[in-house]
Amino acid sequence: MSLGPGARAASGLALAAGAAILAWDPAAPAVAAKRAAVLVVGLVAAGLVAGGGGGAALAVPAGLATWGALVGWSALGLAWGPASGAAHLATLVGPAAVAVGVLALRRADRRRAIALLATAAGGALGTWGAIEGITGGDAPYGGQGNPNWLGLALAATLPIAAGAAVRAWHAARRGGAARRGHRVRVAVALGSVVAQALALVLSGSRTAWVAVVVAAGLVVAARRARAPGARAFRRVGGLAAAGAVLLLVVLAGAVEHAARPRSGAGGASAALDGRLHLWRVSLHAGAERLPLGTGPGGFGHAFLDTQARALASLDPVAAARRFENAETAHQAWLDAWVAHGAPGIALLAAAVALGALGLARARAWGPLGSLAAVGVASFGDSTLALPAVGVIVTCALAVARGPAVRVGARLAGGGLLVAAGLALVPAVAELRAERLRAHADTLEPGARLAALDAATRLAPRSGEASLAFGLALLEARQAAEAEAELERSTTLLANAGTWVAIGNARTLLGEPARARVAYQEGVRLAPGAFRARASLARAYVEAGELAAARRELAVARRLRGGHTSVPEIAELLRRAEVEADSGGVGESGR
């Protein structure tokens, strides 16, 4: 079936999707604007498929069908995951809806659409990043949130754009180099590839560099295979495994800069050890929550709980160096393992494997390279959290050949129309709430509280908004309201420091026993957290548990002995001890 006049529909959908993954709002996180924009494009595309499909059926390639099953399983996970998981689900739903629009095009137009998407959006992204990198002095962001995410987005678009450039060059040779139209297409395609390659180098994303190199090897192996079946699969699998091992080695340098400020020393080996700690804890967190996983958005809570048990046996100073308040595993495969359990990781692996085989059968080398690059990069970062990567991957899966699942156009389009519509409401609300949060920082205290209150009402499932409002209430010494809001935020956002703030609110309320419980939870989650240790020491002094106070103060002194609160707590403890001795009352356990 066709979505409309072939080339025109393909171009319109590709340019709309490209604009969506470039969407940028300086007053909000990069992902928030892109997530909402992709959902809008997906909503329109799914609506057109549902409305124009009639009784026709879509032949959904096996890889894309498996991806759809992963999205459906993630949606089911909302039943047992945190309320904040809706945002994570929205990042999967939008690209799936866009892919249905691509799937409704004629087969030749699908390739045109994804080639135009990667060339236009990738070229714009590359130009943006290259200009930032050349003129800004720092690593470029390209509106993607950080330099590494820019590199990951380019790793997804570059193979397809390079393939489109090669095809344009061959077409120019066949059609005559003197024809102006061919020369323009070749120039545009090559310009896009050069801009993307330059921005990729300037991004400094080692994960993306390795992914692109390994993907190029995979494509070469697949092209040389006589049959795109078992032999191609063996070569692809072997090179993917080699690439994963190479990626682990290169990551030692990739994380060195991020790890050094915390540890202060240790170099590449210490940095790699930190990344492996993150992955090891994530692996255990997922295993503890088999078979269903935590549900979308549940990674942070599972990680903190599992990490707390791992750090409990360490010296507090060592625990402080190793602690991570992680919201992702920085590895898409482990993210899926924790959030979606055994079914999720199996569906993701099957989608990549079936998609690679289908793209090899279709001789779609550019999309195959893109899928391979994302698959390898997923060993080093959370690629599927990026809307740009999700759009490119799902559109690439739509051009595969081979086994397919036939689904009615109205059913597929209508189902994703409803899903995208349901996901768009909280996505837009969260975008508006993020803008309000940014604006609140420029306001006076009273107006700031009102703005943050409005943000939480706009996006009641946003843990970030709830935490910011709770902290502002605490700063304004509205302790009861702060405690309630901070406690609500703990169900939405995993953050060990929140428990220290809850303890401070309870202290203001004159409830030292309940404050102590909150500080103890902060220490349990982060045994090397100075603020939690110092606050707990103060709480023990106020409760008259002086032996426990001495123990906690000794740990706090080891963590940050030069902090101004250490002598203050020490003086409080000294006075309490003098008072206890002069009163002739011995403390228990002294």
pLDDT digits (tens, 9 = 90+) for 319-365: 999 999 999 999 999 999 999 999 999 999 999 999 999 999 999 99
445 inside domain: yes
* Rounded-to-integer distance, Cα 25 and Cα 583, Å: 63
Q: Are residues 12 and 41 in the same domain?
A: yes
Q: Are residues 63 and 99 in the same domain?
A: yes
Q: How many domains are contained in the chain?
A: 4
**How many residues does the structure list for the chain?**
590
Q: Are residues 8 and 91 in the same domain?
A: yes
Q: Are residues 387 and 419 in the same domain?
A: no
Q: Are residues 449 and 509 in the same domain?
A: no
**Token pair 């499932």 in the structure block, residue:** 461
173 inside domain: no
CB atoms within 10 A of CB 113: 28
Question: pLDDT tens digits, residue range 117-140?
Answer: 999 999 999 999 999 999 976 789
124 inside domain: no
CB atoms within 10 A of CB 238: 12
Q: Are residues 567 and 501 in the same domain?
A: yes
CA-nearest of 380, 327, 333, 326 to 353 is: 333
Look at residue 237 in the predicted model and tell me its pLDDT.
Answer: 57
200 inside domain: no
- Max intra-chain CA distance, the chain: 103
Q: 573: domain range?
A: 496-590
Quote the DSSP letter at residue 312: T
317 inside domain: yes
Q: Are residues 315 and 257 in the same domain?
A: yes
370 inside domain: yes
Question: pLDDT tens digits, residue range 368-423?
Answer: 999 999 999 999 899 999 999 999 999 999 999 999 999 999 999 999 999 999 99
CA-nearest of 91, 67, 77 to 347 is: 67
pLDDT-wise least confident of 53-67, 194-208, 452-466, 490-504: 53-67
Q: Are residues 240 and 255 in the same domain?
A: yes
Question: pLDDT tens digits, residue range 20-64?
Answer: 999 999 999 999 999 999 999 999 999 999 987 656 889 999 999
125 inside domain: no
91 inside domain: yes
Q: Which two tokens stand for residue 278?
A: 């993150």
The answer to whether the predicted template modeling score (pTM) of the entire model surpasses 0.85 is yes
